[in-house]
Amino acid sequence: MKKDKTKINEILEKIFNMRTINKRITKKSLNQNNEKLKKIYELLGKPCENKKIIHIAGTNGKGSTATFLENIFFAAGYSVAKFTSPHILRFNERILVNKEMISDEDVVKYCEIVMNILEENGLQINFFEIATFVALLYFKEKNPDFIFLETGLGGRYDATNIVKSTIAAITNVSFDHVALLGNSLYEIADRKVGIIKNRQLCIYAQNLAELEEAVKRETDNSVNVLEKYKGFQAELDNQNYKTIVKIVENKNSKESGNIKKSENIEKINNNKNNLKKTFILPLFGKFQANNFLIAYEIAKIYGINDKIIQKGLDEISLAGRFEIFSKNPATILDVAHNDDSVKVLTENLNELFKDDEVIFVLSVLGTKDIANIFKRILEKNYKIFITSLKEVIYGLSAEEIKKNLENSNISTKNIIFEDDILQAYNQAKKMILKNDNSYKVIVVCGSFYEIAKFKKLFL
């Protein structure tokens, strides 16, 4: 057993160190890398070439959407596979079949197959690209009915885009990784819709002109679920930290939810020909309704009934998505890591707490739009601790984040800078226990790496 652990640790360390190999910025270099990935895919025997693959892209919500689909289709009796990123505690979390993580032995086995192909052909690729090939080889062996494949970054030039997919799903588009994806929503949308192939069906969940235009360029077969189910409602269950979604469907229509754009919400809800359905999501946040609608639409395409859909939802547990880590003291973990996801996080907190009841413990990567993220947070009267992620690629120390904020003319006088996340958390706990203030909850957020670092402290 110890020997096996040594082996997986060695190979994971080797591929982790390949994270920064060949940064691809220009269109020419991106296309060149794409051709290289296609060559490697062919050398590996084109694993999963003819499988039913639901390919998921988007700035936020990809992981939630993939998990909705995984659980719903598994509850319906299908064998399912899921590839997501990043992981929280173990690399194996990225690659699942029937909700079970890939074994250490299989990680080693397939990493070695990929690495041998690279060495034999004098090729170099990065960590995520290797992980993608490992997942495809593993899925080929397990032969699931459906594969839910989440992009890593963007879509058009993403390693996951080497496969043929059955349906393209796009959650949303907002500003993130602008240095790599583009400085406008139009450019970012163009990257995301690159997962649409051969005019295939695309399902998306955002009323954004740039995204709608980009989708139309790639296919004439698309569904914006926010329009199709425009009468839907999302309500928060503040006691149980769940989200209640109410969907309106026209029972006389062959296509579920076929509602005309001209119909207003009141008219939809009062129409006697419309069916009202209620689903309970075990994730907290009105935005999760959008992700669920994508999964719901795909489930309906494959004839999965509402009872099975809810059964699948009941089995979901997703780390780092408004995760209740502790009730004493109240501690919430959230992987919000860009302006849009931080906005959603603060909206969720507004439902439960006053601004002066919240303590933030966070860190962000140097690739993020730090100024806009902190402007969003500093609009609130939160107490803020900044910690370090210096040990990870693109991670910053607390002092480096401080300098970044000062260079953006953002005041840091009310922020506590403490590199040690455990020290920051312990200080926050002491503040909650004091009787001379209003603090009630600690929120650890800012990055998947921040959540992973925090969780490892309590293993």
| Domain definitions of the chain by residue range | 1-227, 323-457
pLDDT of residue 24: 52
Evaluate if pTM is beyond 0.75.
yes
Residue with tokens 């902190």, as numbered in its chain? 374
What integer pLDDT is reported at residue 424 of this predicted model? 97
Instruction: Give me the sheet containing 167-170, strands edge to edge.
Output: 100-101, 95-97, 80-83, 146-150, 52-57, 167-170, 202-204, 222-224
Q: Which CATH class is domain 1-227?
A: alpha beta
What is the C-alpha separation between 39 and 121, in angstroms, rounded? 10
Asked if residue 321 lies in contact with residue 335, where contact means CB atoms within 8 angstroms, the answer is: yes
Place of tokens 């992009």: 151
pLDDT at 454: 96
Question: What region, left, alpha or beta, does residue 358 occupy, with left being phi > 0 and alpha being psi -120 to 50 degrees?
Answer: beta
- 323-457 CATH pick, 3.40.50.2300, 3.50.50.60, 3.90.190.20, 3.60.15.10: 3.90.190.20
pLDDT tens track, the chain, 459 positions: 455 678 999 999 999 887 654 455 677 888 888 999 999 999 999 999 999 999 999 988 999 999 999 999 999 999 999 999 989 999 999 999 999 999 999 999 999 999 999 999 999 999 999 999 999 999 999 999 999 999 998 899 999 999 999 999 999 998 655 444 556 888 889 999 999 999 999 999 999 999 999 999 999 999 999 999 988 999 999 999 999 999 988 765 544 444 444 455 555 555 666 788 999 999 999 999 999 999 999 999 999 999 999 999 999 988 999 999 999 999 999 999 888 889 899 999 999 999 999 999 999 888 788 888 888 888 888 999 999 999 988 899 999 999 999 999 998 988 999 999 999 999 999 999 887 789 999 999 988 899 999 999 997
The confidence score (pLDDT) of residue 251 equals 63
Instruction: Determine the pLDDT at residue 187.
Output: 87
The CA distance from 96 to 323, in Å, is 21
Same fold across 1-227 and 323-457: no
